[in-house]
């Protein structure tokens, strides 16, 4: 018997025989103790009644699975008053009663299940010579003992929701913000569920949350003395959504200002160019057809709304959601669904390319070498695609007007208009500044909106010394009056967000981790299994 094998055997067992086979190693062992205590009366006994053999899977050795054949005994109880006549010899910490694997193998397989789940954990366990089934790994994960949170251990709590099924069913994740550690998962996002959890875990002093009313009510019910902190990112997002909703009501003014700016740019850049309408692509035709279909549905909804038909009835007739119909009627038109314009890696070098193209250099490889000397890090294919488009476009093709730097300027979407109105004018490009100037001059209501939104944004970003109450008072007589009223309903939580450093950003990171675990299990994990993997996975 090699001595190097002896330390690999679980403590308390003696090796009788080692039988290596091509696919596994079988180690025959027996306990070293001569006696065993009765599990009922506790008296040790040496009177052997019979013998039997147990087969246990153990940690692999030299890349091969190991099976322990343990020769065990049944003892007669020596206690005269003990009701138990015989008992089986226990293996202690080596293996549990009726188990088919040692404790150390089960612990390692359990960690594989926590980190990878059932199917992926099984594949890795097979490569590590510890074969098992996905169901067994998940049973080992579910048997993990829950951690008991000591009283007053959590002082700052982060609360946010996560989607079981987006738009239909949600849960709640709780994070210790001081330790950046997930504490628990709740099956829903109801106020009563959160309040019950808070009552069971007293001592929480600060709760950072989003602006959901259910969480605010739950904290008031379960931890009335805790300070609520509204997340500043959600406040800024709600401000942007409020500004965009107001901008959408002035879509005619937006189109008019954008048209004037594009006209000026086109007149400056293409004064002598002959404009030839470009042939519409199949994608553009499909887009226009779909928009015409949506516009027809909007016009039907507007007609029914003017006739006094309720929104719920209109939604049923059109086959749309009531919220969708309400947003269409508020906007005054069907949604355009324009994708935001993405920049190009060629934008900083576009002026040089256009100048060289006008000089007659149409060789894409030569142009790429020139750009590479200027610091361009793109591939030659990028320049080749640009040159191909230039050849197809020709000198008389229709193009969007460009700025002096060569960047293409397009009419902004509603979301971008809202962003332009709340941005510092000094950071905007010249066409954007001209567009904002024309829009605000043409629409005084949007000018007031931009002023209040910019002031409120600076306060929420902690970049202004102005008091929040002063800005809200100014907003009462502006288009943002409804948004200001909403902030006043939870003014203590908003003020705490400006004074305290806590946010729900770490909670959002844990939600992303939860989504990764949930998707790795194809969305079929229940709350107990999902909770185990999130709390205990490495």
Tell me the C-alpha distance between 469 and 243, whole Å.
19
Q: What pLDDT was estimated at residue 7?
A: 54
- Closest among 272, 244, 218 to 417, alpha carbons compared: 244
Q: Ramachandran region of residue 92, left (φ > 0), alpha (ψ -120 to 50) or beta?
A: left
N residues, the chain:
538
Q: What is the DSSP string of 28-90?
A: EEEES-S-EE-TTT--EE--EEEEEEEEEEEEEETTEEEEEEEEEEEEE---TT-S--EEEPP
Q: What pLDDT was estimated at residue 337?
A: 66
Structure tokens at 392: 């197809």
Q: Are residues 74 and 26 in the same domain?
A: yes
Tell me the C-alpha distance between 320 and 403, whole Å.
41
Q: What is the DSSP string of 321-333?
A: -HHHHHHHHHHTS
Number of neighbours of residue 370 by Cβ within 10 angstroms:
17
Q: What pLDDT was estimated at residue 157?
A: 94
Helix (H, G, I), strand (E, B) or coil at 173: strand
Helix (H), strand (E) at residue 161: strand 156-165
Q: What pLDDT was estimated at residue 279?
A: 59
Tell me the C-alpha distance between 377 and 357, whole Å.
20
Structure tokens at 218: 């739950």
Residue 50, CB-side half-sphere exposure with 13 Å CA sphere? 6
Tell me the C-alpha distance between 159 and 508, whole Å.
9
336 or 382, which is more confident? Answer: 382
Q: Are 380 and 364 in contact (CB under 8 A)?
A: yes
Q: Taking residues 415-419, what's their average pLDDT?
A: 88
Q: How many domains does the chain have?
A: 5
Q: Is residue 182 part of a domain?
A: yes
**Residue 291: band (very low, low, confident or very high) from pLDDT cuts 50, 70, 90:** confident
**Domain limits for position 365:** 283-393
Task: List the beta bridge partners of residue 413.
Answer: none
Q: Are residues 93 and 109 in the same domain?
A: no
**Residue 151: band (very low, low, confident or very high) from pLDDT cuts 50, 70, 90:** very low
Greatest mean pLDDT among 94-98, 194-198, 255-259, 393-397 lies in 194-198
Q: What pLDDT was estimated at residue 316?
A: 86
Q: Is residue 271 part of a domain?
A: no
Q: What pLDDT was estimated at residue 536?
A: 78
Tell me the C-alpha distance between 27 and 9, whole Å.
9
Q: Is residue 496 part of a domain?
A: no
Q: Taking residues 168-179, what's their average pLDDT?
A: 90
Let me know how many helices (H) and strands (E) the chain has, helices first: 21, 12
pLDDT digit string (tens) for 14-66?
888 888 888 888 999 989 888 899 988 989 998 999 999 999 999 998 889 99
Q: How are beta strands 156-165 and 206-209 bridged, if at all?
A: parallel
Q: Is residue 402 part of a domain?
A: no
Q: Are residues 125 and 205 in the same domain?
A: no
Q: Are residues 11 and 73 in the same domain?
A: yes
Burial label for 9, CB within 10 Å (0-12, 13-18, 19+), is middle
**Residue 131: band (very low, low, confident or very high) from pLDDT cuts 50, 70, 90:** very high
- Closest among 69, 132, 145, 82 to 106, alpha carbons compared: 132
Long-range residue pairs from 504-508, CB within 8 A, at least 24 positions apart, any chain = 504/158, 504/159, 504/160, 504/208, 504/209, 504/210, 504/231, 504/233, 504/234, 505/231, 505/233, 506/158, 506/175, 506/177, 506/180, 507/158, 507/159, 507/160, 507/173, 507/175, 507/177, 507/208, 508/160
Q: Are residues 94 and 110 in the same domain?
A: no
* pLDDT over 60 at 278, yes or no: no
Q: Are residues 287 and 377 in the same domain?
A: yes
Mean pLDDT of the chain: 84
Tell me the C-alpha distance between 303 and 309, whole Å.
9
Q: Taking residues 83-104, what's their average pLDDT?
A: 88
Q: What pLDDT was estimated at residue 402?
A: 52
Q: Is residue 510 part of a domain?
A: yes
pLDDT digit string (tens) for 350-369?
888 888 888 888 898 989 99
- Closest among 490, 480, 344, 493 to 406, alpha carbons compared: 344
* pLDDT over 90 at 206, yes or no: yes
Diameter over CA atoms, the chain: 116
Q: Are residues 117 and 169 in the same domain?
A: no
* pLDDT over 50 at 538, yes or no: no
* pLDDT over 60 at 498, yes or no: yes
Q: Are residues 113 and 55 in the same domain?
A: no
**Which CATH number does the domain housing residue 174 bear?**
3.30.420.10
Q: How are beta strands 86-88 and 227-230 bridged, if at all?
A: unpaired
Q: What pLDDT was estimated at residue 265?
A: 75
What is the spatial order of strands in the sheet that 206-209 belongs to?
181-186, 169-176, 156-165, 206-209, 227-230
Q: How are beta strands 64-76 and 25-31 bridged, if at all?
A: parallel
pLDDT digit string (tens) for 432-476?
888 889 898 888 999 999 999 999 999 999 988 889 999 999 998
- Closest among 13, 1, 4 to 70, alpha carbons compared: 13
Task: Fill in the DSSP letter of residue 356.
Answer: H
**Residue 156: band (very low, low, confident or very high) from pLDDT cuts 50, 70, 90:** very high
* pLDDT over 50 at 1, yes or no: no
Contacts of 356 (CB under 8 A, 6+ apart): 367, 370
pLDDT digit string (tens) for 233-277?
999 999 999 999 999 888 888 888 888 888 887 776 655 344 445
Q: Is residue 76 part of a domain?
A: yes
Q: Are residues 19 and 31 in the same domain?
A: yes
Q: Taking residues 304-333, what's their average pLDDT?
A: 85
Q: What pLDDT was estimated at residue 219?
A: 92
User: Is the torsion defined by CA of 193, 197, 203, 205 positive or negative?
Assistant: negative
Q: Are residues 287 and 386 in the same domain?
A: yes
Q: Is residue 420 part of a domain?
A: yes
Tell me the C-alpha distance between 434 and 224, whole Å.
51
The 3-state DSSP composition of the chain as helix, strand, coil percent (nearest 5) reads 50, 15, 35
Q: What pLDDT was estimated at residue 277?
A: 53
- Closest among 427, 488, 424, 476 to 448, alpha carbons compared: 476
Of 393, 419, 453, the residue that ends a domain is 393
Q: Is residue 495 part of a domain?
A: no
Q: Are residues 310 and 382 in the same domain?
A: yes
Q: What pLDDT was estimated at residue 397?
A: 42
Q: Are residues 239 and 225 in the same domain?
A: no
Q: Are 177 and 187 in contact (CB under 8 A)?
A: no
């Amino acid at each position: 018997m090699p001595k190097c094998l002896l330390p690999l055997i679980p403590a308390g067992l003696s090796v009788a025989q080692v039988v290596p086979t091509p696919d596994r190693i079988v180690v025959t062992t027996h306990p070293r103790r001569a006696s065993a205590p009765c599990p009922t009366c506790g008296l040790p006994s040496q009177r052997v009644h019979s013998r039997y053999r147990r087969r246990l899977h153990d940690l692999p050795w030299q890349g091969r699975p190991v099976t322990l054949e343990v020769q065990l005994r049944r003892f007669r109880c020596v206690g005269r008053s003990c009701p138990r006549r015989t008992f089986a010899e226990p293996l202690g910490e080596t293996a549990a009663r009726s188990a088919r694997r040692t404790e150390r193998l089960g612990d390692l397989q359990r960690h594989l299940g926590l980190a990878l789940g059932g199917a992926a954990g099984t594949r890795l366990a097979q490569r590590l010579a510890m074969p098992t089934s996905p169901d067994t790994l998940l049973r080992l994960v579910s048997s993990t003992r829950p951690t008991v949170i000591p009283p007053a251990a959590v002082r700052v709590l982060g609360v946010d929701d996560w989607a079981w099924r987006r738009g239909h069913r949600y849960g709640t994740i709780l994070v210790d913000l001081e330790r950046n550690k997930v504490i628990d998962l709740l099956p829903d996002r109801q106020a009563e569920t959160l309040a019950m959890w808070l009552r069971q875990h007293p001592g929480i002093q600060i709760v950072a949350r989003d602006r959901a009313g259910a969480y605010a009510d739950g904290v008031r019910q379960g931890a009335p003395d805790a300070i609520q902190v509204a997340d500043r990112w959600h406040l800024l997002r709600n401000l942007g959504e409020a500004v965009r909703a107001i901008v959408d009501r002035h879509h005619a003014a937006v189109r008019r200002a954008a048209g004037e700016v594009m006209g000026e740019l086109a007149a400056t850049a293409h004064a002598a160019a002959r404009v030839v309408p470009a042939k519409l692509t199949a994608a553009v035709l499909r887009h226009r057809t779909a928009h015409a279909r949506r516009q027809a549905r909007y016009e039907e909804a507007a007609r029914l709304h003017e006739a006094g038909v309720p929104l719920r009835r209109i939604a049923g007739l059109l086959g749309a959601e009531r919220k969708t119909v309400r947003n269409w009627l508020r906007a005054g038109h069907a949604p355009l669904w324009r994708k935001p314009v993405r920049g190009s890696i060629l934008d900083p070098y576009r002026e040089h390319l256009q100048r060289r193209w006008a000089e007659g250099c149409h060789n894409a490889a030569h142009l790429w070498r020139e750009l590479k000397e200027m610091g361009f890090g793109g591939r030659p294919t990028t320049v080749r695609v640009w040159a191909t488009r230039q050849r197809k476009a020709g000198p008389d093709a229709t193009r969007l007007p460009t700025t002096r730097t060569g960047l293409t300027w397009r009419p902004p979407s509603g979301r971008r208009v809202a962003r332009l109105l709340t941005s510092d004018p000094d950071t905007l490009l010249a066409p954007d500044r001209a567009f904002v100037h024309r829009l605000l001059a043409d629409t005084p209501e949007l000018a007031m909106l931009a002023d209040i939104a910019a002031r409120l944004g600076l306060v929420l970003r902690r970049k202004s010394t102005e008091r929040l109450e002063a800005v809200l008072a100014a907003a009462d007589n502006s288009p943002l009056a409804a948004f200001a009223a909403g902030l006043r309903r939870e003014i203590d939580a908003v003020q705490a967000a400006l004074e305290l450093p806590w946010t729900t950003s770490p909670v959002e990171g844990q939600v992303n981790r939860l989504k990764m675990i949930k998707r790795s299990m194809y969305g079929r994990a229940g709350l107990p299994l999902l909770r185990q993997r999130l709390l205990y996975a490495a």
